């Protein structure tokens, strides 16, 4: 009885709060004392400081785990501090050079006109790496907007990639204009199905999508492992989980010539970002989707069928991840293997939250993640610092983004009226009883 | 208007019961038609009843006639299915479900091992070994969620525990220091999780994800920075198997349960402690109150924040212990990503076990059994690929969560931060 009262009370309160916020928004005076730059700063200060702090803590870890630094401190305080700066400088310098290419060489190549493809290789590689991050980040962002926490990115990427690879190698002699779109489409559909399942389960039975998507990740992994060692395996691979290579006609064409691996998938992903932004913020469906995610009770009151929007949000989210898998298989690896996702499905949680779940913001944060990932390879081969430092930095960034109070305390920022936090409630794992 | 129910029925048969009965029928038919195809009456399935390399508690091999056994199992399933479909077993249907699953799995093993030999004792022993980290992870989840904090960082805590256990164990050449370091590592990560989700009230799944990403990154970082160049830092002594005198000599059961390392005994001890502590002590009552209705608990003078911190940190120590199993209990070194999702499966075992330690242990053993069965099936060479058997625990978790089989309902306030007014 009391629980019931509480429930209705809560609903009432929520409705009241929604009303109050709405009134405040209506009666708020347009503030014209804010210049464009201060507005911009207030919008980006938390993400910016989070990235900066993440990189700083990453540097601390590099310092504390570097044997050189300890050795130098053994010699004297001065040499010690010098070593600290040189270790961090070398590491982040190599990271930068690996991500963008070295500026001096680029200038030189542009002047002399030689080795142009080689100096642009790092930035091209970074953009190639940005693409899956962007697609998977869009999936997460759309999910969050719809009130869904899609942790199933990995599984959806696997399923999408496998489906795309199957269509990619099974049909020979198709023209590219049919073969490539077909492969991509099948990948999208497979990912969509893998997203539909937890969405439907959530709408129908109330079971929480986080557990369901984690379970589906493992089911997808086993399924793909079975397919890749059995029916789809590369002939003569000796039981290795790897598929036949996709036909030439199903590969996403490269934009430049061979050493530059940038393919049209990157631009496709950019278009997707704009499309998703348009869908979310400029169409009625997108509005409904967000309303269902932001406040269930208000949305129900407005006559929305929450279940349908949950299923739709989850399906689109899965489809985007499927697209991410298809993009990797058809544009980068040309064959499906178990290493097709370098943790994109999980990293994109941080990515989407960093972008405040804005599809256009996702472009920037995906670029950051792509640059970090590519640069870290160069850092590893040049300075011996493992590329896993990037994961650590990403974890810190996610932490600071999720808990802006830490950033505010550290940098003595004024607490501002905060936007409603990404409202994905975690009350209980499931069951509608 | 009340629905009249036939006099011969003691209870109404729900659609769920009908579905279950129908599934049982199908399983029975499956055993009769698919498993029992063309075995002659001379076909024999042999089960070895002693794990390999064991000299105590030896039991002679068990020979059974494949054909006849499958007939019996199939008909039994069929009859149970018919009874369930028409009359329903009422409140006993979950028990019947377990029974049916056992019969079905048994017929599957009999079918796979026809004309061959399967080491049944070895299968069960490895199931228990594989279940240990899952069960301990599940216990960690129970502690946290019963106090109202969702913890999906079990995986990360385990990984950190495995790495620290191996490194400290190798550096000091002392397994106990290794174990302590592993538990400490799990505990510190748990402290961060508690701090983020209780003090800063950030989404607990996000906070768990932070820890998972950090832990995966950090352990791989240390591994490729140091452990590959200095193999001596990654060669730890292991906890030996200790046979309990007397009990280890019991045939069949002895070698499986009473000849194990500290981790298995520790798991059983923790099971008793948790089951008793949560449901029979004041400490447990307070913990559960905080997880079910923090406001009421606060009004009664229980410190909600302190209780939650305590529960999460205890859970972290447990997860660290579970992680130590991988390096100190199992292989004696650390490999990147060696926990391979066992933490998440532990979470699934917790849900499957309805947040009750004893049931969580049973669920964990079931999951471990699926793991070990899939590997022995692939060795025996069956027509059903091991991957599909491997999938079953995850499928079962989804089905349980959807409320098709049994009910699952966690602590009411699990996942919601508490705001003191």
pLDDT digits (tens, 9 = 90+) for A355-385: 889 999 999 999 999 999 999 988 888 888 8
Q: Does the beta-carbon distance from B394 to A218 stay under 8 Å?
A: yes
Question: Which chain B residue is nearest to residue A426, measuring alpha carbons?
Answer: B415
Calculate how close chain A gets to B378, using CA atoms only, in Å.
Answer: 12
Predicted confidence band at B9 (pLDDT cuts at 50, 70, 90)?
Answer: low
pLDDT tens digits, A9-39: 666 666 666 666 666 655 555 555 567 777 7
In CATH, what is the architecture of A119-373?
A: Orthogonal Bundle (1.10)
* Domain coordinates in residue numbering, chain B: 15-47+56-118, 122-401
Task: Give contacts of B 204-263 with A, CB under 8 A.
Answer: 204-207, 209-214, 216-218, 220-226
Calculate how close chain B gets to A409, using CA atoms only, in Å.
Answer: 12
Nearest to A403 among B196, B214, B387 (CB): B196
Average pLDDT taken over every residue of chain B: 84
Q: Which residues of A touch B341 (CB under 8 A)?
A: 218
CATH topology of domain B122-401: ABC transporter involved in vitamin B12 uptake, BtuC (1.10.3470)
CA separation (Å) from B189 to A170, A391, B198, B276?
47, 16, 14, 27
In what side-by-side order are the strands of the sheet with B117-119?
B62-65, B44-48, B117-119
Q: Does the beta-carbon distance from B388 to A222 stay under 8 Å?
A: yes
Calculate how close chain B gets to A293, using CA atoms only, in Å.
Answer: 15
State what percent of residues in chain A have pLDDT above 90. 34
Q: Which residues of A touch B208 (CB under 8 A)?
A: none
Predicted confidence band at A425 (pLDDT cuts at 50, 70, 90)?
Answer: very low
Residue A426: per-residue pLDDT: 45
Task: Judge whether B152 is closer than 8 Å to chain A, CB to CB.
Answer: yes
Let me know: does A325 contact A187? Beta carbons within 8 Å: yes
Q: Which residues of A touch B299 (CB under 8 A)?
A: none
pLDDT tens digits, A94-121: 888 888 888 778 888 888 877 777 788 8
Q: Does the beta-carbon distance from B401 to A431 stay under 8 Å?
A: yes
Calculate how close chain A gets to B402, using CA atoms only, in Å.
Answer: 5
Calculate how close chain B gets to A365, using CA atoms only, in Å.
Answer: 17
Q: Does the beta-carbon distance from B210 to A398 stay under 8 Å?
A: yes
Distance CA B254, CA B244 (A): 9
Q: Give A10 or A156, the one with higher predicted confidence.
A: A156
Calculate how close chain A gets to B23, using CA atoms only, in Å.
Answer: 20
pLDDT at B160 over 70: yes
Q: Does the beta-carbon distance from A386 to B385 stay under 8 Å?
A: no
pLDDT at B268 over 70: yes
Q: Does the beta-carbon distance from B401 to A349 stay under 8 Å?
A: no
Question: Which chain A residue is nearest to residue B398, measuring alpha carbons?
Answer: A212
Interface residue of B14, B144, B207, B210 to substitute, partner A, most A CBs within 10 Å: B210
Nearest to B397 among A215, A394, A396 (CB): A215
Mean pLDDT of A305-330: 93
Mean pLDDT of B279-293: 91
Q: Give A359 or B205, the one with higher predicted confidence.
A: A359
pLDDT tens digits, A123-155: 899 999 999 999 999 999 999 999 888 989 999
Q: Does the beta-carbon distance from A392 to B224 stay under 8 Å?
A: no
Angle at which helices A404-411 and A389-402 cross, to 10°:
90
Residue A216: per-residue pLDDT: 93
pLDDT at B2 over 50: no
* Domain coordinates in residue numbering, chain A: 44-100+385-416, 119-373
pLDDT tens digits, A226-258: 898 878 887 777 777 888 888 888 888 888 877
Residue A17: per-residue pLDDT: 67
Q: Does the beta-carbon distance from B211 to A395 stay under 8 Å?
A: yes
3-class DSSP state of B259: strand
Residue B405: per-residue pLDDT: 55
Residue A46: per-residue pLDDT: 84
Torsion of CA A356, A361, A362, A364, to 10 degrees: -130
Neighbours of A241 (CB within 10 A): 19
Burial of B171 (0-12, 13-18, 19+ CB in 10 A): middle
Task: Judge whether B200 is closer than 8 Å to chain A, CB to CB.
Answer: yes
- Mean pLDDT lowest among A76-80, B185-189, B299-303, B310-314: A76-80
Interface residue of A59, A198, A214 to substitute, partner B, most B CBs within 10 Å: A214
State what percent of residues in chain A have pLDDT above 70. 88
Residue B1: per-residue pLDDT: 41
Residue identified by tokens 């048994």 is: B106
Mean pLDDT of B94-103: 80
Nearest to B391 among A219, A390, A428 (CB): A219
Average pLDDT taken over every residue of chain A: 84
Nearest to A353 among B206, B213, B404 (CB): B206
SS3 content of chain B, % helix, strand, coil (to 5): 70, 5, 30
Q: Does the beta-carbon distance from A223 to B220 stay under 8 Å?
A: no
Calculate how close chain B gets to A343, using CA atoms only, in Å.
Answer: 10
Q: Does the beta-carbon distance from A402 to B202 stay under 8 Å?
A: yes
Which two structure tokens, joined as six digits, stand for A362?
A: 């996702």
Q: Return the number of CB contacts < 8 Å for A and B.
A: 172
pLDDT tens digits, A27-73: 555 555 567 777 777 778 888 889 999 999 999 999 888 888 888 88
Which two structure tokens, joined as six digits, stand for B202?
A: 């950030």
Question: Which chain A residue is nearest to residue B336, measuring alpha carbons?
Answer: A388
Cβ-proximal residues to A43 (8 Å cutoff; 6+ apart), any chain: none
Q: Does the beta-carbon distance from B387 to A226 stay under 8 Å?
A: yes
Given phi > 0 = left and psi -120 to 50 = alpha, else beta, which region is A414?
beta
Question: Which chain B residue is nearest to residue A197, measuring alpha carbons?
Answer: B398
Task: Judge whether B296 is closer than 8 Å to chain A, CB to CB.
Answer: no
Among residues B305, B324, B310, the alpha carbon closest in space to that of B186 is found at B324
Question: Which chain A residue is nearest to residue B295, measuring alpha carbons?
Answer: A6
Mean pLDDT of B224-246: 83
CA gyration radius, chain A: 24
Interface residue of B142, B373, B375, B403 to substitute, partner A, most A CBs within 10 Å: B403
Which two structure tokens, joined as six digits, stand for A29?
A: 């005076």
Q: Does the beta-carbon distance from A431 to B415 stay under 8 Å?
A: no
Residue B336: per-residue pLDDT: 86
State what percent of residues in chain B have pLDDT above 70. 92
């Amino acid at each position: 009885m009391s629980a019931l009262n509480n429930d209705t009370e809560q609903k009432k309160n929520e409705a009241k709060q929604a009303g109050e916020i709405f009134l405040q928004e209506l009666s708020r005076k347009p503030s014209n004392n804010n210049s464009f730059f201060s507005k911009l700063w207030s919008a980006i200060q938390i993400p910016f400081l989070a990235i900066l702090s993440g990189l700083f803590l990453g540097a601390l870890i590099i310092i504390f785990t570097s044997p050189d630094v300890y050795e130098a401190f053994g010699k004297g305080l001065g040499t010690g501090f010098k070593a600290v700066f040189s270790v961090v400088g070398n590491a982040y310098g190599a990271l930068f050079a690996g991500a963008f290419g070295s500026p001096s060489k680029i200038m030189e190549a542009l002047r002399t006109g030689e080795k142009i493809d080689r100096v642009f290789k790092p930035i091209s590689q970074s953009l190639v790496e940005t693409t899956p991050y962007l697609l998977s980040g869009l999936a997460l962002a759309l999910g969050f907007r719809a009130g869904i926490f899609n942790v199933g990115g990995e599984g959806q990427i696997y399923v999408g990639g496998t489906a795309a690879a199957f269509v990619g190698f099974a049909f020979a002699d198709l023209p590219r204009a049919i073969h490539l779109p077909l492969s991509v489409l099948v990948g999208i559909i497979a990912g969509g199905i893998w997203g539909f399942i937890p969405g439907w389960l959530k709408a129908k039975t109330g079971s929480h999508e986080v557990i369901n998507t984690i379970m589906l990740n493992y089911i997808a992994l086993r399924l793909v492992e079975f397919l890749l060692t059995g029916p789809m395996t590369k002939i003569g691979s000796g039981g290795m989980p790897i598929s036949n290579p996709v036909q030439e006609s199903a590969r996403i064409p490269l934009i430049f010539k061979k050493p530059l691996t940038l393919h049209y998938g990157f631009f496709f992903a950019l278009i997707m970002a704009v499309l998703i932004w348009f869908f979310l913020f400029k169409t009625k469906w997108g509005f409904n989707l967000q309303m269902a995610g932001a406040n269930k009770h208000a949305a129900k009151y407005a006559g929305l069928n929450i279940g349908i929007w949950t299923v739709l949000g989850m399906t689109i989210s899965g489809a985007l991840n499927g697209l991410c898998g298809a993009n990797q298989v058809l544009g980068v690896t040309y064959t499906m293997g178990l290493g097709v996702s370098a943790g994109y499905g999980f990293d994109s949680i941080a990515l989407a939250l960093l972008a405040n779940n804005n599809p256009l913001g996702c472009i920037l944060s995906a670029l950051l993640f792509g640059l970090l990932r590519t640069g870290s390879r160069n850092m590893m081969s040049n300075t011996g610092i493992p590329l896993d430092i990037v994961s650590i930095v990403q974890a810190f960034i996610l932490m600071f983004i999720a808990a802006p109070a830490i950033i505010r305390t550290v940098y003595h920022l004024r607490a501002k009226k905060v936007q409603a936090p990404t409202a994905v409630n975690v009350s209980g794992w499931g069951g509608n009883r | 208007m009340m629905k009249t129910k036939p006099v011969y029925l003691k209870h109404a048969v729900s659609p769920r019961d009908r579905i279950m009965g129908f599934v049982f029928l199908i399983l029975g038919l499956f055993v009769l038609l698919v498993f029992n195809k063309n075995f002659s009456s001379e076909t024999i399935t042999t089960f070895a009843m002693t794990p390999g390399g064991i000299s105590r508690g030896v039991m002679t091999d068990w020979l059974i006639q494949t054909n006849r056994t499958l007939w019996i199992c199939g008909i039994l399933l069929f009859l149970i299915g018919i009874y369930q479909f028409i009359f329903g077993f009422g409140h006993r249907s979950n028990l019947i479900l377990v029974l049916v699953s056992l019969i079905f799995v048994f017929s599957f093993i009999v079918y796979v091992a026809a004309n061959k030999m399967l080491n049944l004792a070895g299968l069960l022993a490895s199931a228990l070994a594989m279940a240990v980290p899952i069960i301990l992870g599940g216990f960690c989840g129970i502690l946290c969620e019963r106090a109202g904090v969702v913890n999906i960082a079990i995986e990360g805590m385990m990984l950190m525990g495995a790495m620290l256990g191996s490194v400290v164990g190798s550096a000091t050449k002392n397994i106990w220091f290794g174990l302590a370091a592993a538990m400490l590592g799990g505990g510190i990560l748990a402290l961060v999780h508690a701090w983020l989700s209780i003090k800063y009230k950030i989404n607990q799944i996000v906070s768990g994800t932070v820890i998972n990403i950090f832990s995966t990154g950090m352990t791989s970082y240390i591994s490729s920075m140091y452990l590959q160049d200095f193999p001596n830092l990654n060669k730890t002594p292991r906890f030996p198997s200790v046979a309990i005198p007397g009990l280890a000599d019991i045939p069949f059961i002895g070698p499986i349960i009473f000849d194990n390392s500290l981790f298995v005994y520790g798991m059983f001890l923790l099971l008793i402690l948790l089951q008793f502590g949560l449901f029979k002590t004041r400490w447990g009552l307070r913990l559960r109150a905080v997880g079910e209705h923090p406001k009421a608990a606060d009004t009664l003078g229980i410190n909600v924040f302190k209780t939650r911190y305590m529960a999460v940190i205890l859970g972290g120590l447990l997860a660290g212990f579970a992680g130590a199993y991988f390096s100190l209990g199992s292989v004696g070194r650390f490999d990147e990503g060696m926990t391979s999702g066992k933490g998440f499966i532990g979470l699934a075992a917790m849900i499957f076990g309805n947040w009750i330690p004893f049931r969580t242990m049973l669920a964990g053993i079931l999951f471990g059994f699926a793991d070990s069965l899939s590997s022995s099936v692939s060795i025996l060479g069956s027509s059903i690929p091991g991957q599909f058997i491997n999938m079953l625990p995850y499928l079962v978790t989804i089905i349980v969560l959807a409320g098709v089989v049994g009910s699952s309902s966690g602590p009411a306030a699990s996942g919601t931060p508490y705001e003191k007014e």
